[in-house]
Amino acid sequence: MRIPLSWLNDYVNVKDIPIQELRSRLDLAGLEVEAIEAIGYPEAELPWDPDKILTAEVLAVRPHPDADRLVLVEVNYGGAENEIVVTGAPSLYERKGESGLHLKVAFAWEGATLYDGHKEGWSKTKLKPTKIRGVPSRAMVCSEKELGLAEEQTDIIYLPADTPVGVPLVEVLGDYILDFQVKGPFGHLQSVYGVAREMAAIFRRPLKRTPVEAVQRLGLRVVEQPDFAYLEIADPDLCPRYTATMIRGVQIAPSPLWMQMRLSRAGMRPINNVVDITNYVMLELGQPLHAFDYADIRPHPGETQPTIIVRRATAGEQMATLDGELRTFDDEMLLITDGGGPVGIAGVMGGLDSEVKAHTQDILLEAANFNFINIRRTCQMLKLTTEAGARFGKRVDPELALVAAARAAELMVELAGARVDPVAGDLYPGKPEPRVIHYSPALADRVLGVAIPPEDQLRILAALEFRVEVTESLPIPGNRDHGDVWRVTVPSYRMDVSLPVDLVEEIGRIWGYDHFPVTLIEEELPPLRRNVSLEAEEHIRDILVSLGLDEVIIYSLSDPEDEARLHPDPTAKLDLPGERVMLKNYLSPERSQMRRTLLSGALRTAWSNLRFMERIAIFEVGHVYFQMREPDDAAPDTGVDEPRRLCILLTGPRQGRWYAPTDREMMDYFDLKGIAEALLRSLALEDKVRWAKGQHPSFHPGRCAVVTVEDRELGVVGELHPLVREAFDLPEQPVVLLEWDLDVLLDAARQADAEKKIGTISNYPPVYEDLALVVDEAMPAAEVQRAILDAGRPLVTEALLFDVYRGEQVGAGRKSLAFALTYQSPGKPLDERDVAKLRERVIKLVQKQLNATLRGA
């Protein structure tokens, strides 16, 4: 909301306060100034030099001796002598030969910097003395464009007749436009007067009430049914008040310069005096108004008196609005109708047929009040934003309606030559009761932690127009504050204030949070709890980073197509543990589904990074989202389960390039498995997991493992299926991924940690020995290893696979697995005999269990 400071100064004089201080104090009190645009002042894009750009008056216009299209004007700029200026300004050219003039203009001396009026856009130029067709010229009269006030070069600017001559122009036309950001339902801040009222309280200055006293000045009286129209509110729940004021004999013309300038500085385009006045009063007081051409308000068939009825639309009813659009309404939208049908959408936009036209003579001026929630709904449903709708949507005080009507009427008389009917119509079914709050000044202390003296509290409330009666000790239900209780009557326009704590906010913000002392919570701590789940998650991150992986955090909103691409068969779907969670409204289809897997995001990330690097090793710890199949008490009450997942992706060469040879093999399944095993070892889970051949459509059917921990499925590890790799446009190299259920992993880790007991660390020398066993091709190596360790327990402490051999020596369908065994006892050195006994036991058991033979035997 743009408000010129010059306008504010009409009601509260803050001219002496430097602009930055003004801004900062407004900010502190909760009137947030988003930006300040300076006009003419030193901060402006084009500062007006106060010595060189002045007000002046044109006294006479004489022909140029040597040019047909130019004239010489005699200008009084307050100097000792008048100055002769050469100009081609059309409106001065028209007055060629006239003298005895007193036209107030903006005058610039040589050396002044202005915009070049004859160039497109904004290019600055410094005024130089020159000769135009033989006549010397060292000054000029300026146009709006040259001063930076308009984009188009038209005529020179004329100042009001009462403008003093020879003063710096910046004092007359300079301004600061404050752009306020009003958050929340604050109708009382949606106007120049409303902001001025706040400023009066903030700066402790008097407030000039002229604009809200027009009813008294005009002597306007109200009745429910005036003689110029029949009024009816059919739906008072949506229309607490409707006033109609009759304004006759308007002469439609442009509004005066000062009004046009204020409107355009506030961001509204001047149109004509009548429309400008309704807009001006809306900006000034915050009450939207609508001017109907009285001639277009129809009576009911068979009646003579024009009729206005405020009612809900019937579903499907239509009307063309001012902007020329045909609108269709539903039965919750409120319309202004006449005897013939709709003439306006209440509080949002008027109808096309009854708008003010160039020949309009009589005006029915509507100043009404509507339910703000309903107005907002209508605006949203119709996708229609208007100044009126936006203001009503922030809640407007119904008391303001008649005040604004009178103010507009007064200006119509003054600026449009109109007459006002002394009696206006006013239906007011929703007149609110005065709001009274029982307030204890001790509450401020309790909420704020600062003892603000009661006299300061009183002063602040009074400055904000709250009426305070200090009463005898009045019991407030539930009040635990002792001492005085005040009866505080809330001004009608403060519709946001209804609770004692609302008054505390008013007092706090005007008193100034900025000089509050700083304290820390004194109370005892709540029972302390750890967030074990978060701690464990962070522990996983630390482990994976220490293993050389980069953490990524990918958007939760994903592309359903990407999920489909994870299946190599376009007609099939992944089997995921729940239905998808889809958005109703989304920015793009690529961000329309809450992800159900981390795989596709990791693949996308790999793809985008492979454009710039060859090696990717990333992980993500994050949530996936499913509709729950069954209601589950342990899960969120939203119907959506949000389990955590861990995803790891590797692709690219094992090592980076170096000047000497490095391991440039592409990372494969075993690189990832190594990382997975390191992670499991860090969590003391290496003995508790089972790796088995797995099946997952996204993975190479022969290079996929499913991992379980204590019979719960952790997830998959494998190499991406080549078709899926192609679908994600990834290069022809192995991409290996892991996706595990983080909650399962962390549960198991917690369990393992609880059970962890430190084993004996033996200082007796170990004995090392190799053992090669020949087994069937299908026998998993992990099983052989487990069998060896089981058989040798506890003295065989390690069995490390170091060679796998297939060939004639071991026969078809068989393979040889060579293990390096470590024998060690915690209690004594092992001798040859001990080792021989152990070896025998291991071989015997393994042969029996696994159909293994000793290689070479």
Partner 1 sequence: MNLFEVLEQAYQTAQAALEAAEDTATLEAWYADTLGRKGAITLQVRAVGQLPAEDRPAFGKRVNEIKQALEAAYTARAEAVKHAELTRQLEAGAIDVTLPGRPVTPGHLHLTTQSLRQIYSIFGRMGFEVYDAPDVELESYNFDLLNIPEYHPARDMWDTFWVQHVRNSPTRLLLRTHTSPGQMRAMRERYPEPIRVILPGKCYRYEQITARSEHQFYQVEGLAVGKNITMTDLIGTLTQFTAMFYGPGHRMRVRSSYFPFTEPSIEVDMDCILCGGKGCRVCKYTGWLEIAGAGMVHPVVLKNGGYDPDKWSGFAFGFGVERPAMLKYNVNDIRYFYGNDLRFLRQF
- Binding positions for partner 1, 645-704, rule CB under 8 A: 655-659, 662
Pick between residue 503 and residue 788 the one whose CB is nearest to partner 1: 503
On whether the CB atoms of residues 830 and 767 are closer than 8 A, the answer is yes
The 318-357 contact track toward partner 1, x by CB under 8 A, reads: ----------------------------------------
Of residues 454-513, which lie at the interface with partner 1 (CB under 8 A)? 478-480, 499, 501-502, 504-505, 508-509, 513
The 301-320 contact track toward partner 1, x by CB under 8 A, reads: --------------------
52: its two tokens: 């060189």
Nearest to 490 by CA among 547, 438, 549: 438
Of residues 54-73, which lie at the interface with partner 1 (CB under 8 A)? none
Pick between residue 287 and residue 825 the one whose CB is nearest to partner 1: 287
The 22-51 contact track toward partner 1, x by CB under 8 A, reads: -xx--xxxx-x-xx----------------
Of residues 379-418, which lie at the interface with partner 1 (CB under 8 A)? 380, 393-395
Q: Is 372 in the site for partner 1 (CB under 8 A)?
A: yes
Kind plus residue range of the DSSP H or E element containing 28: helix 19-28
384: its two tokens: 């229609």
Q: H helices within 683-733, ranges in order?
A: 722-727
Question: What is the C-alpha separation between 504 and 451, in angstroms, rounded?
Answer: 12
Of residues 783-822, which lie at the interface with partner 1 (CB under 8 A)? none
Q: How far is CA 184 from CA 32, 193, 541, 555, in A?
A: 12, 18, 41, 30
Pick between residue 516 and residue 670 the one whose CB is nearest to partner 1: 516
Least distance (Å) from partner 1 to the CB of residue 346? 15
Q: Which of 2, 62, 539, 615 binds partner 1 (CB under 8 A)?
A: 615
The 594-613 contact track toward partner 1, x by CB under 8 A, reads: x----------x--xx--xx
Least distance (Å) from partner 1 to the CB of residue 206? 23
Torsion of CA 364, 369, 373, 379, to 10 degrees: 20
φ, ψ of residue 306 in degrees (nearest 5):
-55, 145
Count of CB atoms within 10 A of residue 390's CB?
16
Least distance (Å) from partner 1 to the CB of residue 395? 7
Pick between residue 134 and residue 449 the one whose CB is nearest to partner 1: 449
Q: Which residues pair with 485 in a beta bridge?
A: 471
Least distance (Å) from partner 1 to the CB of residue 36? 8
Sheet holding 349-350, edge to edge: 230-233, 307-312, 334-338, 341-345, 349-350
On whether the CB atoms of residues 764 and 825 are closer than 8 A, the answer is yes
Least distance (Å) from partner 1 to the CB of residue 512? 9
Least distance (Å) from partner 1 to the CB of residue 722? 24
Pick between residue 166 and residue 449 the one whose CB is nearest to partner 1: 449
Question: What is the C-alpha separation between 727 and 735, in angstroms, rounded?
Answer: 13
Query: Given the rule CB under 8 A, which of 120-128, 288-296, 575-583, 678-686 is the region that contacts partner 1?
Result: 575-583
Q: Is 194 in the site for partner 1 (CB under 8 A)?
A: no
Query: Dihedral sign, CA of 766, 767, 769, 773?
Result: negative
Torsion of CA 366, 372, 375, 379, to 10 degrees: 120
506: its two tokens: 């008013």
Pick between residue 114 and residue 606 the one whose CB is nearest to partner 1: 606
Question: How many of the chain's residues bind partner 1 (CB under 8 A)?
Answer: 111
Question: What is the C-alpha separation between 205 and 239, in angstroms, rounded?
Answer: 36
Q: Residue 489: exposed, middle, or buried by beta-carbon count in 10 A (0-12, 13-18, 19+)? A: middle
Q: Which of 487, 623, 688, 841 binds partner 1 (CB under 8 A)?
A: 623
Of residues 98-157, which lie at the interface with partner 1 (CB under 8 A)? none
Pick between residue 332 and residue 834 the one whose CB is nearest to partner 1: 332
Query: Given the rule CB under 8 A, which of 179-187, 290-298, 410-418, 713-721 is the region that contacts partner 1?
Result: 179-187
Of residues 426-455, which lie at the interface with partner 1 (CB under 8 A)? 446-450
Which residues contact residue 854 at a Cβ distance below 8 angstroms, ignoring those fewer than 6 apart? 771, 772, 773, 774, 843, 847
Least distance (Å) from partner 1 to the CB of residue 550? 5
Q: Is 616 in the site for partner 1 (CB under 8 A)?
A: yes
Question: What is the C-alpha separation between 688 and 753, in angstroms, rounded?
Answer: 12
On whether the CB atoms of residues 404 and 281 are closer than 8 A, the answer is yes
Of residues 544-573, which lie at the interface with partner 1 (CB under 8 A)? 544-557
Least distance (Å) from partner 1 to the CB of residue 28? 5
18: its two tokens: 């430097």
Question: What is the C-alpha separation between 358 and 30, in angstroms, rounded?
Answer: 43
Which residues contact residue 821 at a Cβ distance below 8 angstroms, ignoring those fewer than 6 apart? 768, 769, 770, 771, 788, 792, 796, 798, 799, 842
On whether the CB atoms of residues 54 and 107 are closer than 8 A, the answer is yes
Pick between residue 11 and residue 619 the one whose CB is nearest to partner 1: 619
Pick between residue 631 and residue 702 the one whose CB is nearest to partner 1: 631
Torsion of CA 289, 291, 294, 299, to 10 degrees: -50
Of residues 509-548, which lie at the interface with partner 1 (CB under 8 A)? 509, 513-514, 516-531, 533-534, 538, 541-542, 544-548
Least distance (Å) from partner 1 to the CB of residue 187? 9
Least distance (Å) from partner 1 to the CB of residue 819? 30
Q: Is 591 in the site for partner 1 (CB under 8 A)?
A: yes
